[in-house]
Amino acid sequence: MDYEIGPFISLIVSFNEISNKNDYLNLIETVKEEFIQKHDENIWPRYERKLRRFNFDRAKHIGNGSGVALYVSFKAIHSFNLTQPVKTQISIDDTMNVAQLIKEIESQLHYRVLILRDNDFKLLRVDNGHFSILNLVNKPIPVLVNNDKNKYFMLVKEYLSDLFDDDDYLQTVVVANEENRKLFNELADQKTFVKDIVSKVDMDDLGPDKISEMIDELNQQFFDKLANDNKIKYEKASDHRLVATDLRDIISNALSGKIDTLYISEESYNKTLNDLAITTIGFAGNVLLLPKSQMPMNLDYAAITLKF
């Protein structure tokens, strides 16, 4: 949106707080009050038309989201579905407020779950906490190998390898009792099978509610692993003197497109850091908005720089 004309309205709409079309129309009136306090009232109709044309009811009833982010410029409106818990917020400035979008990008999590038993298996697809059971055709069955578990697991591995051939970028978590998980991990050498994410779920009590609990547990393990990986990544970059902690240095690197990853503390987020995040994203850099406790060296901001 950097080619568009401001001011920008950044509107985060929580479906818990704004639950119907009338609520949304009332919210537009609130936005108007704030807008005309800062800007010429004569340009408000250009923004109001875009907000009123937005199909709120459709956005609320698709995707099982928690809300929607609306970014309105003088020329256009852009919407993004949100999955993380949000509160309704209004921001009117010369750039859009991307904090919630950064959090949304950070929270994106997609993987598979292989539920493996001695003589059967299921495959789930998990997208941002929501799971679906995949319909598998021509599944291998144990009788094909005289109920030999090792051979059966090999058939399962080969079946999944063929199935994943076109989208092997997704990781797969193996959920099984300890014996079966270890055996399958020995047989499955593909990188797509995650071996350091483990569920302790009771395999004999795995109904829909238990699966949901299991997914929550796995999600947390993925996020914990990501936080640890980010910490290790920063430490390695620091060892090679590829980090910046001075704000002027970070801004200079951002304007030159030399930031690999920008770390910003949630507690310190402000307009300057917001604009810095936009610049970093514009040069295809990564931006992480983290609690202060997860920040490198407990800093307010830091960056891993690129070596040219």
pLDDT tens digits, one per residue of 72-110: 999 999 999 998 899 999 999 999 999 999 999 999 999
In this predicted structure, what is the pLDDT of residue 204?
74
In this predicted structure, what is the pLDDT of residue 257?
96
Spell out the CATH class of 110-224. alpha beta
In this predicted structure, what is the pLDDT of residue 189?
72
- CATH 3.30.70.100: does it fit domain 240-305? no
Mean pLDDT (the chain, rounded): 92
pLDDT tens digits, one per residue of 223-263: 999 999 999 999 999 999 999 999 999 999 999 999 999 99
The DSSP string of the chain is -TTS-S-EEEEEEETTTS-SHHHHHHHHHHHHHHHHHHS-GGGHHHHHHHHHHS-HHHHHTSTT-SEEEEEE-SS-EEEEEE-S----EEEEESS---HHHHHHHHH--EEEEEEE-SS-EEEEEEETTEEEE---SS---GGGGTT-HHHHHHHHHHHHHHHTTT-TTSEEEEES-HHHHHHHHHH---TTEESS------TT---HHHHHHHHHHHHHHHHHHHHHHHHHHHHHHHHTT-EE-SHHHHHHHHHTT-EEEEEEEGGG--HHHHHHHHHHHHTT-EEEEE-GGGSGGG-SEEEEEPP-
